[in-house]
Structure 1
Amino acid sequence: MCGIAGFFQQQPVSLAAVQGMLSALRRRGPDAEHVVGWNTQGQRNDAASEVGLIHTRLAIIDPRPEADQPFSNDDGSIWICYNGEVYDWQQHADELRAQGVQFKTHSDTEFILRGYEAWGLEDLLPKLRGMFAFAILDWNKREVFLARDRMGLKPLVYTTANDGLAFGSLVRSVLPSVPKAQRQFSPESIDAYLAHRYIPAPRTIFQHIHRLENAHYLHYRLDTQQLTKHCYWQPHGESGSGEKAWQKELDTAIRIRTVADRPLGVFLSGGIDSSTIACRLEEQGFDQLQTFSAAFLGSPLDESPVAKQIADTLGLPNQAIPVPLTIANDFEQIIADLDEPFADPSSFPSWYLAQATTQHVKVVLGGDGGDELLGGYKRLGKHLRTSWRRLLRLPLPRMADMAGKGWRKIVSELRLNWLEAYSLRFSGMTPGQRAFLQPGLKAPAVTYWRYPSIDALNQLSPLKQLLAVDLNNYLPEYILRKGDLCTMAHGLELRAPLLDHVWAERVMALPDSERFTQPAKKLFASVTERLASLDLFNLKKRGFNPPLKPWLQQDLHHHFAGLGQRLQTSTQGQINAARVERFIAEYRNRPALAEQVLQLLILDASLSQLEAMAKSC
């Protein structure tokens, strides 16, 4: 797991820009860092480079310097810069060895490079099982490939703003390569953030920096500067042999993610997904793995006592990590580690959990993905109850309002088609709230999500349509982005067995009666029998949200002064200062607006940091 960046330009990139890109990645890779540069003809020139690869390493597999990156083939004609973990690749490596390929390391980095040499990218990608974002620079063909994994566990952003191509793991690692005259915030992205609490791919907060979508790769030609984007995978159901093919594949997905040369642990909540992983690990003989649980002491949301019961039942050691009651000292650093505006309240406890966990282990398995595959979210059932109006969309006016509740919310929903209205089941701002705060924004998009094609959607049931929307948007750009940013900020690798694409395809092939149950995820009952006495399937889902009220009233209270004017200035007038102040005043009488107020505070802090960086780097 690492931080990656690079550039492919026609003019030398300044040393200051290179150092700026490297500096943004250091928290992701504390174990080693390297920069390799060339001129446009492929000759090494680290001092004044037109072409360069940048890498900061969190060493998990083969931590020797021999496996550091950027990594090249024997004659230096092909290079890789890679972030992630690919699992279960040894069988494919054996095929290469049988053809005479000699490996210098036992790292998956070298396997990807050697696999590209032997098979090319199109034939290599289907053989990669895991999470990855990588760049391959091929001087023989004078081509560059940038690829992101199927589910979107690893991030990749890029820009073509400087008559070339630059990329990185973070928006902040790409910004130094963007000319200062082109570092404007995107008005659409600001509105997208207000709508969704994050900025969905392919957008980022900057007009000229883009996020590569999951399951896509870029192909760039050095000589012509031609850039094309390709989708290489679509989720689909694939049945396996045997009655319990899904169970066998689940155990495989978990087992292959235990391979590491650094200490391994498990994130354990009181939920079904992480407890299933812990249960299967114990069954496979990993009975001494340390488990880590976030504790909201004194809160009804605290799942750590249930997590302790699960761990005790399985005989696994458990450590409860108290989420601090105050965030005042860490707020600015957390905002920086979230890279661009990102307002999931659970990112704060996630950040603290990772900070404490990395003191004990460097790799953790987590339970992300079960809800998206097995329909575990309550919002799905709520929205399905309105599926009778799938073809109904009324020509009602858009109304600006602060509350976002009552009859105005109903009007907002009836203005949208059924699939678009699914976005209102999330906790971003309503269309009315967005219109209130941005009175001059003309005809903003209803949603900034990516949707499957109409033909693909028409083949799906209403529930599977909603899950397809989640797999394109909420999962990769919200859940997984949060997990990656919060863990990698502390040099901790997070692995997600339930998002193994082979296991996911087994689940998608199951009959609906097995896949979608009441209560949700009863599929896991047969593989968690040791936990049956805890009745986990009937426990109320508590979520992972922090105590916002004291944080807003105490820790972050001083951020309210001048908030409206700062947002109006940083958004070039898009957000209205007076209306922000009215929104804050409304919150004092209506505490239910706490998440939306936090959203504004995070936007202000993030834009302020990014403005300062854009001026200085």
Structure 2
Amino acid sequence: MCGIAGIFNQRTEQTPDAQTLVNMAAIMHHRGPDGYGFKIMEDTGVAFSHARLSIIDLNEVRGRQPFISDDGNLLLAHNGEFYDFKRIRADLTAQGARFRTKSDSEIVMHLYAREGLEETLKHLRGEFAFGLYDKSEDCMYLVRDRFGIKPLYYTHTPDGVVFGSELKVLFAHPSVKREFSTEGLYHQLIQVMVPGSTAFDGIYQVPPGHVVKVKRRNGQLELEEHKYWDVDFPQESEYPGDDVDEATYIEGVRKHLLEAVQHRLTADVPVGCYLSGGIDSCAILGLSAASTQTSVKAFTIGFDSDEYDETPIASEMAEATGAEHHIMRLNADDLYDHFVKTIWHTERTIYNTLGVAKYLMSQQVNEVNYKVVLTGEGSDELFAGYPAFRKDMFLHGLDHLPDSERAAWQELLEKNNRLFKGAMLAREEHVSPAFNTKMGFTPSCVQPWLSCASVALPLIAEHRRDEVKDYDPGKAIADTLDEDMLKGRHPLDRAQYVWIKTMLEGQILTWGGDRVDMANSMEARPAFLDHHLAEYAFTVPPHLRIKGNKEKYVLREAMKGLLPETLYKREKFAFMAPPAHTDPKKWQAVVKLAEQFLSKEAVEEAGLLDYAEVERTFAKHESDDVSIDEKVQLDAVINHMLGVQILHHHFVKTDVPVVAAQRAKELGWLA
């Protein structure tokens, strides 16, 4: 697991600057503190750099990237892990391939040389992002894993294309523009982003399951985007009926999850587990302990609020597996004290301080010399665990229920979802005409954020507001969704598809995953997002994902023997940090941050927000006339306002190329 960067100039005679390449690696030193490297392909205008976190093949010299193929034709920089790579290496060696390292990364060049990119991608299993330059074709491929676990950004400058694992890596290049787009600002304020976009003008992400091909023709670079994988549920008519054999699916889920966990225990360093009070992380810990037959170290976040704290159940699971249990207890002061630093790593706004909590946890993991943990992310996406999915199943997938049963469902939904109204669930039903046209209804998962548009639009500075007064954020998101993946699907499948394309990639795997984990040089491996397991999970009938009102039914049954009784029977509780309004000390910490970043001077200097509206938002939050769920929504909006101002401070006001150069000098990383 590492950080990657690269430059592909339009003119072959324009050789990339070596120190700029090193600076790009240095500013992401947190992603790769174990070494750095860069390679310039002569007479091509192409060069890559790399910051290394050594997990497989710890030899500092032998495992150093970027790699150049023996014939000098291919240049590779890779971030992430390829599982089952030893079998692939053995097959390739039998065909005459010669490997120079023990690294999993090297398989890409050998596969590509023999089979081409399309066939190579079929072999790759895991979480990854890489850049591959083919000199004979004079083209570069930017490739991202199927779910977007690993980040990959790119931009087109007047000189060529620049790419990297993080935005700050691109901003370390002096030719890359650093300014907000107004649409990007709008989406930062409402939390949900347009897939493939960022907050910044001209900066894009390679979408999950996609390749961006950069080809040089007649001194110009042409960019082409291609999808190689997608979330493909069966047609609704293809599912078996209610008399389906449950045991077959239960055993299938158990088999595929165990295999995914076992692959992710592969490392040349110790592997631990994140552990909350949910069945997802508990299942991962249980399977890891059973597979290794040794004590596994488990890491848990504890909050100073009984409503949000899950440590009692996590402790019960740790004891049941014999795990060495590390609990990090957080109070109100901890979260906002580290908010600014967390935003430097997330490079986008966050609605809840869970991202800060995860940042602090990865810090503690690093301090006890662990580099790798397995996590439970992805389970709710595959097996319909979130409150929004139950709501959509009830509203759109259970039309046949009699009124008495629907009333019971409605009552239970209201009771279970009270903590999430205003954040993970909309305060009131919100309809997006674009989503209704595209898929027949507006998924509950995007409603809370799209419903913030009326609050967010007035917050945008007046000189920018006109640019987006007719902009429809719901349509912008819906337009990116593949209609072929929605047509004819069950309503629950459609809802899960949208969540995977928006919330999973843009939130959970970003500010709740890679960015806050790698901030402290810690690799997270979400076993549920193994694509072999996912493709099997897509075949599980909707009524076995949510059976009655029990979410993740098939997973729950598959893991029944591993889970303590209380956890097996427990309903889903979305893992969140307590919002600011729940604690006076926490709210005072917000006010203190606002004095710095949301002052009249700071707001007017950035030119992003309308200061009068900022003041009105705070006054409304402090009023006794607003409901609790409205306060939850305002908590999120205020976090976003702070976030955009902090992003401006970190990446626009601050001269990032200078910071990167200083960092390289401090590290002694010189070209």
Q: Measure, in 2, the Cα distance between the counterparts of 1:563 and 1:486.
A: 24
Q: CA deviation at 1:172?
A: 0.9
Aligned to 1:611: 652
Q: CA deviation at 1:564?
A: 6.0
Cα pair 1:345 1:595 within 8 Å, conserved? no
Q: 2:34 is matched by which residue type in structure 1? A: D
SS in 2 for 1:458: coil
Which residue of 460, 464, 471 corresponds with 1:444?
A: 471
Closer, same or farther in 2 for the Cα pair 1:166/1:424, shift >3 Å? closer
- Confirm or deny that 1:556 pairs with 2:590: yes
Q: CA deviation at 1:120?
A: 1.3
Q: Following TM superposition, where does structure 1 have runs of at least 4 consecutive aligned residues deviating by more than 4 angstroms?
A: 12-16, 408-412, 614-617
Q: Measure, in 2, the Cα distance between the counterparts of 1:389 and 1:437.
A: 39
- Confirm or deny that 1:501 pairs with 2:531: yes
Residues 556-565 or 465-474, more deviating? 556-565
SS in 2 for 1:422: coil
Residues 214-223 or 197-206, more deviating? 197-206
Q: Measure, in 2, the Cα distance between the counterparts of 1:404 and 1:311.
A: 33
Report how many aligned residue pairs link the two structures: 591
SS in 2 for 1:228: strand
- Confirm or deny that 1:353 pairs with 2:361: yes
Q: 1:2 is matched by which residue type in structure 2? A: C
Closer, same or farther in 2 for the Cα pair 1:119/1:225, shift >3 Å? same
Q: CA deviation at 1:587?
A: 1.0
Aligned to 1:258: 265
Q: Measure, in 2, the Cα distance between the counterparts of 1:245 and 1:286.
A: 23
Aligned to 2:638: 597
Q: CA deviation at 1:298?
A: 4.9
Q: CA deviation at 1:324?
A: 4.6
Aligned to 1:194: 189
Q: 1:4 is matched by which residue type in structure 2? A: I
**Per-residue Cα deviation, 1:557-610 (whole angstroms, up to 9, x for no partner):** 2332372645753664x5322111111111111444222212211221121111
Aligned to 1:544: 576
Aligned to 2:344: 336
Q: Measure, in 2, the Cα distance between the counterparts of 1:289 and 1:334.
A: 28
Instruction: Name the TM-score, length of structure 2 as normaliser.
Output: 0.82
Q: CA deviation at 1:445?
A: 1.7
Aligned pairs for 1:391-540 (under 5 A) are 413=431, 417=436, 419-420=441-442, 422=444, 424-426=446-448, 430-438=452-460, 440=466, 441-447=468-474, 448-450=476-478, 451-482=480-511, 483-517=513-547, 518-524=549-555, 525-539=557-571
Q: 2:193 is matched by which residue type in structure 1? A: I
**Per-residue Cα deviation, 1:264-284 (whole angstroms, up to 9, x for no partner):** 100011101011111222332
Q: Measure, in 2, the Cα distance between the counterparts of 1:453 and 1:236.
A: 10
Closer, same or farther in 2 for the Cα pair 1:286/1:189, shift >3 Å? farther
Q: CA deviation at 1:252?
A: 0.6
Aligned to 2:668: none
Cα pair 2:353 2:579 within 8 Å, conserved? no
Q: Measure, in 2, the Cα distance between the counterparts of 1:433 and 1:338.
A: 23
Residues 364-373 or 381-390, more deviating? 381-390
Aligned to 1:400: none
SS in 1 for 2:62: helix
Cα pair 1:570 1:608 within 8 Å, conserved? no
- Confirm or deny that 1:35 pairs with 2:38: yes
Cα pair 1:152 1:215 within 8 Å, conserved? yes
Residues 495-504 or 314-323, more deviating? 314-323
Q: CA deviation at 1:166?
A: 0.8
Which residue of 308, 316, 328 corresponds with 1:301?
A: 308
- Confirm or deny that 1:116 pairs with 2:87: no
Aligned to 1:218: 212
Which residue of 163, 170, 173 corresponds with 2:169?
A: 173
**Per-residue Cα deviation, 1:319-346 (whole angstroms, up to 9, x for no partner):** 1112254245433221211123344421
Q: 1:606 is matched by which residue type in structure 2? A: L
Residues 367-376 or 282-291, more deviating? 282-291
Closer, same or farther in 2 for the Cα pair 1:340/1:595, shift >3 Å? closer
Cα pair 2:493 2:542 within 8 Å, conserved? no
Q: Measure, in 2, the Cα distance between the counterparts of 1:8 and 1:539.
A: 50
Q: CA deviation at 1:540?
A: 5.5
**Per-residue Cα deviation, 1:361-406 (whole angstroms, up to 9, x for no partner):** 111000001111111111222344544999xxxxxxxxxxxx989x
SS in 2 for 1:556: helix
Q: 2:76 is matched by which residue type in structure 1? A: I
Aligned to 1:57: 52
Cα pair 2:390 2:546 within 8 Å, conserved? no
SS in 1 for 2:170: helix
Q: Measure, in 2, the Cα distance between the counterparts of 1:179 and 1:530.
A: 54
Aligned to 2:409: none
Residues 278-287 or 227-236, more deviating? 278-287
Instruction: List alignment gaps of at least 5 residues for structure 2.
Output: 240-246, 400-420, 659-671
Query: Identity rate of aligned residues, in percent?
Result: 27
SS in 1 for 2:58: coil
Q: Measure, in 1, the Cα distance between the counterparts of 2:422 and 2:83.
A: 46
Q: CA deviation at 1:7?
A: 0.4
Residues 56-65 or 286-295, more deviating? 286-295
Aligned to 1:2: 2
**Per-residue Cα deviation, 1:15-57 (whole angstroms, up to 9, x for no partner):** 6643442232111111011122244x24xxxxxxx42211001
SS in 2 for 1:234: coil
Q: Measure, in 1, the Cα distance between the counterparts of 2:471 and 2:233.
A: 36
Q: Measure, in 1, the Cα distance between the counterparts of 2:422 and 2:179.
A: 30
Q: Measure, in 2, the Cα distance between the counterparts of 1:17 and 1:587.
A: 45
Q: 1:454 is matched by which residue type in structure 2? A: E
